Copies of this chain bind each other. A is one copy, B any other.
Amino acid sequence: MTEINVLNKKFQKEINSGVTSLVLLSVMAQAEEPLYGYQIAKQLSNDEQNAPAMKQGALYPVLRSLEKGSLLKSMVEPSASGPPRRYYSITSNGRKILTEWIKLWEKTKSFVDNTLGGE
């Protein structure tokens, strides 16, 4: 792995640490029923091109953290085909916070894009 790749991976990881919460909360706000981890991951990888190195394994800690903050809730259901599954759904508090986060995301985007403007 070249030096450039190492720095790119570090950069992408840092950016992802912020946007993963936003993206997961948004997926859950649009879900019509509770989803388990693999279903959520699939929603994000529908367009392989578009998902910048957001690996399924990276989603679980974020789901747990969103639940800890009462933005998501979950329940475990038995599965016919394997171990029990944890189904997540958004809380009303989660919907409120999502609206705030979208505003902060828009603000951050235009701040960064203004700074890059000279490039």
Q: Residue A27 at the B interface, CB < 8 A?
A: yes
User: Interface segment, A72-80, A83-91, A102-110?
Assistant: A102-110
Q: Residue A39 at the B interface, CB < 8 A?
A: no
Residues from 41 to 85 in A contacting B, C-beta threshold 8 Å: 44, 47, 50-52, 54, 69, 71
Tell me, in angstroms, the Cα distance from A48 to B54 when the chains sit together. Answer: 32
Tell me, in angstroms, the Cα distance from A49 to B99 when the chains sit together. Answer: 19
Q: Residue A4 at the B interface, CB < 8 A?
A: yes
Q: Residue A29 at the B interface, CB < 8 A?
A: yes
Structural contact, A18 and B21, CB atoms closer than 8 A: no
- Identify the A interface with B (CB < 8 A): 3-4, 7-8, 11-12, 14-19, 21-23, 26-27, 29-30, 44, 47, 50-52, 54, 69, 71, 93, 96-98, 100-102, 104-105, 107-112, 114-116, 118-119
